[in-house]
Amino acid sequence: MSTFRALHRALMRAEARDLSTVVLLLVTPVILLVLLTAVLGLDDGSGSTNTLAAGTITMTVSFSALCSGVTHILAWRMNGVLGLMRTFPISNGALLTAQALTGLVLAAAQVGLLLIIVDLPTKGLDITSRSSAAIAPIVLGYFAFFMLGVLVANLTRSIATSAALAILVFALLLYGGAVIYPIDQLPSAWHTLAPFSPFYQFHESVSVSLSGVLDWSGLARSLAALAALAAVLFVAGRTALRWDTRSA
């Protein structure tokens, strides 16, 4: 068994045994989407549920990934796991990727459950074979936000500071990425800046994939931008990883 696979398996086991987190990750987005669908009455088959689902998926996956990046590094630093991992014959990048992949498995379960639960009662969700195009942006989006979380955890030393910074970064990207308001209603400078937010590209590509009318060139553009952002964040996260186990 390769070092990467063995580490991924050990991390997956740790993740799967953290039942409270698993339940929270799986249940929260479902409750959120079911409530929104019911309150907004989006069950007319007009595709509104798809739009709502795309927004919910973007929000929950990115938030889970960001939190995962922050909490894992901080927890590892505090309980000495980072000190152990430092001795492993594996590069910084491979170590972070192994944990990101572990979280991605949970995120996939999160999205799958979300789509199934929402589709069953409302029948408002229009899932076709083309919807599977959403898999690529979900993978890249998770990876990008996980690495962003790693960066946040390495910029700070205490849990409180990390949590505050993570929420601040998330809020800035959310607003900056024109996810809250339609981009047309925002100032013109926003049009230039928004594409640099991983949120914007993530939301765009998931929305396009689930919209029913798939614009392949638009999806390819968003995916390329998301991949570039993920690559930059990966290099930054890998470089910023501090191995010291002292924390405030």
Binding site for another protein (CB under 8 A): 1-3, 6-7, 9-11, 13-14, 17-18, 75-76, 79-92, 243, 245
Residue whose CB is less far from another protein, 46 or 79? 79
**Minimum distance between the CB of residue 62 and another protein, rounded to whole angstroms?**
24
Residue whose CB is less far from another protein, 9 or 191? 9
Residue whose CB is less far from another protein, 80 or 121? 80
**Minimum distance between the CB of residue 93 and another protein, rounded to whole angstroms?**
11
**Minimum distance between the CB of residue 103 and another protein, rounded to whole angstroms?**
14
Residue whose CB is less far from another protein, 140 or 150? 150
Two structure tokens written together for 216: 């392949």
* CA 12 vs CA 33, 98, 103, 104, 203: distances in Å: 27, 9, 8, 10, 27
Residue whose CB is less far from another protein, 3 or 51? 3
**Minimum distance between the CB of residue 12 and another protein, rounded to whole angstroms?**
11
Measure CA 163 to chain center.
16
Residue whose CB is less far from another protein, 123 or 242? 242
Q: Judge whether 180 and 174 are in contact, CB under 8 Å.
A: yes
**Minimum distance between the CB of residue 245 and another protein, rounded to whole angstroms?**
7
Per-residue H/E/C for 154-170: HHCCCHHHHHHHHHHHH
Instruction: Tell me which residue has tokens 């800035």.
Output: 172
Q: Which residues contact 49 (CB under 8 A, 6 or more apart)?
A: 37, 42, 43, 118, 122, 124, 125, 126
**Minimum distance between the CB of residue 216 and another protein, rounded to whole angstroms?**
40
- Please tell me the distance from the alpha carbon of residue 218 to that of residue 215, in angstroms, as a whole number: 5
Q: Count CB-CB contacts under 10 A for residue 112.
A: 11
Q: Which residues contact 100 (CB under 8 A, 6 or more apart)?
A: 65, 68, 69, 142, 143, 146, 147
What distance, in Å, lies between the first and last C-alpha atoms of the chain? 37
